[in-house]
A and B are shown apart, each in its own frame.
Chain A
């Protein structure tokens, strides 16, 4: 696993889309807010709540930006974890 793979491999973008897309869709039309959006929902709601206390003059939509960045960092972590998990699984085979 090289650095490029760790930071932008298929697994990273897979996790990223899974975490972000359901919430983005749900935010355009609440009727499309499925349980798949729950992880993003929790992170955006709690993150923006914390952000609004730190920066009470900011409008709430501003906190989408750290949400997108934060979800990328989480996706990298999940990709590394899932890779390690697969390696371990293969090793025991």
Chain B
């Protein structure tokens, strides 16, 4: 019952948001949730990019929805498009793979989007190339990619949940550790010890994923955030994902302003 009520609420919210963004368009960059531009325009993969900025400072790019069945990632990212920030620029691509999201599948039309970003080469699909175009256009100082796993890393076979994977660049490793500690102190109940967040091994550019390419080609800090669906309801995964994003952005000098 609660779950159904939740679904209906979010359905209503997204209708509301669509009309708001039409009515509000033309206001300043931070107002409401106006997309700054779209990529793959005119195709089934068309998707919006949001830009928030306040003052000079670092630029962060946050991506959700690389995998279409990982709701917590794109829901958290969509919520984050409504944040106000201070101290820099936050670029959000909340629904990277629209086709996969609409069919609630990991893969879209061209297979696994997060295997199309080889280091040192051109991305391997039109969508991946335009996403890399977003990276090039904004030249971010840090990249966050939000995901969800089925199980818990180290316990459940081939699962990567409850891990923050940093690139091997700058202080990303330390920030991943601090963020994991912060989440464990503030949101993970002590009676769920296996759900404590951990820092993963460093990302080096060795695999064809977006954040790997950020490490390999740009030598920038980046993170893959993985929460788990094991014993965590969707609302909790969304809350924890938002909290992790807020904490990581803060380590990179971009503060969330207010609580709207």
Is A52 within 8 A of B156, CB to CB?
A: yes
B25 at interface, CB cutoff 8 A: no
Is A60 within 8 A of B156, CB to CB?
A: yes
A49 at interface, CB cutoff 8 A: yes
A28 at interface, CB cutoff 8 A: yes
Knowing A44-B231, A48-B156, A52-B151 are in contact, say whether A28-B3 is a contact too (CB < 8 A).
Answer: yes
A5 at interface, CB cutoff 8 A: no
A-side contacts of B192, CB under 8 Å: 30, 33, 41
Is B155 within 8 A of A45, CB to CB?
A: yes
Q: Quick one: closest A residue to B232, CB to CB?
A: A30
Is B189 within 8 A of A33, CB to CB?
A: yes
Q: Range of interface residues on chain A?
A: 20 to 34
How far is the CB of A2 from the nearest CB of chain B, in Å?
37
Knowing A35-B191, A41-B191, A60-B151 are in contact, say whether A49-B156 is a contact too (CB < 8 A).
Answer: yes
A37 at interface, CB cutoff 8 A: yes
Is B155 within 8 A of A49, CB to CB?
A: yes
Is B191 within 8 A of A37, CB to CB?
A: yes
B152 at interface, CB cutoff 8 A: yes
Knowing A38-B191, A41-B191, A60-B150 are in contact, say whether A30-B236 is a contact too (CB < 8 A).
Answer: yes
Residue of B191, B235, B236 most packed against chain A (CB within 10 A): B191
How far, in whole Å, are A37 and B236 apart by their CA atoms in the complex? Answer: 17
Contact digits for B171-198, partner A, Cβ 8 Å, 1 yes 0 no: 0000000000000000001111010000
Knowing A38-B191, A52-B151 are in contact, say whether A27-B231 is a contact too (CB < 8 A).
Answer: yes
How far, in whole Å, are A59 and B230 apart by their CA atoms in the complex? Answer: 11
B157 at interface, CB cutoff 8 A: yes
Is A34 within 8 A of B151, CB to CB?
A: no
B-side contacts of A59, CB under 8 Å: 150
Contact digits for B22-50, partner A, Cβ 8 Å, 1 yes 0 no: 00000000000000000000000000000
B-side contacts of A48, CB under 8 Å: 151, 155-156, 230
CB within 8 Å of A: which B135-159 residues: 150-152, 155-159
Is B157 within 8 A of A26, CB to CB?
A: no
Contact digits for A23-63, partner B, Cβ 8 Å, 1 yes 0 no: 10011111101110110010011101100110010011000
Q: Quick one: closest A residue to B155, CB to CB?
A: A49
B-side contacts of A23, CB under 8 Å: 231
Which residues does A use to contact B, with CB under 8 Å?
23, 26-31, 33-35, 37-38, 41, 44-46, 48-49, 52-53, 56, 59-60
- The 8 A-B pairs at the shortest CB distance, nearest first, are namely A49-B155, A30-B236, A52-B157, A56-B157, A35-B191, A52-B156, A38-B191, A45-B194
